[in-house]
Structure 1
Amino acid sequence: MSAEPKPAPAPSKTLDETMKEFDSVPLFMRDLPQEEGNTAIEALQSLAFEGHPDEAAENFKNQGNEYFRARRYKEALGFYRQGLEAKPEDAKLKETLLLNAAACDLELKNYGRALHATRAALVINTRSIKALYRAAKAFFALDRVKDALGCCDMAQDLDLSNPEFEHLRKQVQERAVQLERREKEREERRRRTMLENEALQVAFVARGLWVTTSDDPPDNPTPAHFDAEARPSYSSLDIPLIGATEPWKAPDPIRTPLVFPVMLLYPQHNTSDLISEYHEDTPIGMHLDVMFPSDARGTLPWDPQGEYVSSQLSVIARTRKGRLLRVGHKLSLRTLLDQGAQPGADGQMDDRDGIVLRDGIIDLYVFPKGSSAERAWIAETKGRAI
Structure 2
Amino acid sequence: MACKAQYIGTEEERIALSLRLDKELDDFIAKKKKSAYKDGLKPEEWDKEIESHPFFMKEVPEGEELPPLLQGLQEIKYSPDSNTADDLAVAYKDDGNFNFKHKNYRKAVIAYSEGLKQPFNNSHLKAQLYNNRAAANIHLENFRSAYSDCKLALKETPNYTKAKKTLAQACKALGLYNECISTCDDLLLIRSDQAIHELRKQAVDDKKKLDRNKRKEQAMQRKKNIELTKLKEMINSRGIKFLSDPFWEKPETELPNKVYVEKDHLVWPVVFLYPEYKTSDVIQHFHEDNRFEEHLSQVFADFPEWDEEKKYTLESVVIHYEDPNGKIHSVEKTSTLRSVLSEPDFRVDGCSPAFLLHAKGSAAFDSFLKNYE
Instruction: Assess, with a 3 A threshold, how the Cα gap between structure 1 residues 14 and 138 changes in structure 2: closer, same or farther.
Output: farther
Q: Secondary structure at the match of 2:271?
A: strand
CA deviation digits over 1:237-260, x for unaligned, max 9? xxxxxxxxxxxxxxxxxxx22221
- Of 228, 249, 269, which aligns to 1:261? 269
Shift of 1:185: 2.5
Cα distance in 1 between the residues matched to 2:292 and 2:241: 20
1:291 aligns with 2:278: no
Residue type at the aligned position of 1:366: L
> Which runs of 5 or more structure 1 residues have no equivalent in the other structure?
1-5, 231-255, 341-352
- Of 313, 331, 349, which aligns to 1:309? 313
Query: What TM-score do you get using the length of structure 1 for normalisation?
Result: 0.69
Shift of 1:45: 4.2
Cα distance in 1 between the residues matched to 2:57 and 2:322: 80
TM-align CA RMSD: 3.9
Shift of 1:319: 4.9
Match of 2:136 in 1: 104
Shift of 1:30: 6.3
CA deviation digits over 1:65-88, x for unaligned, max 9? 332222222222333333334455
- Of 67, 75, 89, which aligns to 1:46? 75
Match of 2:353 in 1: 362
Match of 1:245 in 2: none
Shift of 1:220: 4.2
CA deviation digits over 1:319-373, x for unaligned, max 9? 5564724322x433224334x2xxxxxxxxxxxx242211211122222235565
Match of 2:337 in 1: 333
Shift of 1:219: 5.5
Shift of 1:123: 2.7
Residue type at the aligned position of 1:224: V
Shift of 1:262: 1.4
> Which runs of 5 or more structure 2 residues have no equivalent in the other structure?
1-36
CA deviation digits over 1:261-280, x for unaligned, max 9? 21212334444322233222
Match of 1:243 in 2: none
Q: Note if contact 1:84-1:97 (Cα within 8 Å) is conserved in structure 2.
A: yes
Shift of 1:135: 1.0
Query: What TM-score do you get using the length of structure 2 for normalisation?
Result: 0.72
Match of 1:224 in 2: 259
Cα distance in 1 between the residues matched to 2:363 and 2:130: 86
Q: Note if contact 1:31-1:78 (Cα within 8 Å) is conserved in structure 2.
A: no
Q: Note if contact 2:54-2:67 (Cα within 8 Å) is conserved in structure 1.
A: no
Match of 1:195 in 2: 226
Shift of 1:183: 2.3
Residue type at the aligned position of 2:309: Q
Deviation larger for 319-328 or 305-314: 319-328
Q: Secondary structure at the match of 2:353?
A: strand
Percent of pairs with identical residues:
24
Aligned runs of 1:25-174 on 2, under 5 Å?
A: 27-28=55-56, 40=68, 44-49=73-78, 50-87=82-119, 90-157=122-189, 159-174=190-205
Aligned runs of 1:173-188 on 2, under 5 Å?
A: 173-188=204-219
